[in-house]
Amino acid sequence: MPSNQQLLNRLHRKAAALTPELRNVYLTAYQAIRDALSPSEWAAAIQNGNVDALIQAVLSTSSLEAGPLA
C-alpha cells in the first residue's frame, strides 16, 4: 500500500518526464482530484491504487471538453 508521500514522489517523477505544458496539465489534474475528494476518499484512492486512473479520467474529460485541436 503506497503512502501519500510515495504517491507524490511517483507523480512528480512522471511529471518530470513531460514537457512543461503537459506537466502543468498533469499536475493541475492531480490537484483538481485532490481538491474534490475528502480525506477519506483520497486515502481510499491511494490504498486502492486508483489515483492514476482518476488522473487519466480527468485528462480525458478535459481533452474532450476542449474540442478538437486546431
Q: For the chain, what are the domain ranges?
A: 4-66
**pTM of the prediction?**
0.68
Which DSSP string do the residues of the chain spell out, in sequence order? ---HHHHHHHHHHHHHTS-HHHHHHHHHHHHHHHHHS-HHHHHHHHHHT-HHHHHHHHHHHHHHHH-S--
Would the pLDDT of 3 be above 80? no
Tens-place pLDDT, residues 18-46: 899 888 888 888 888 889 889 998 888 88
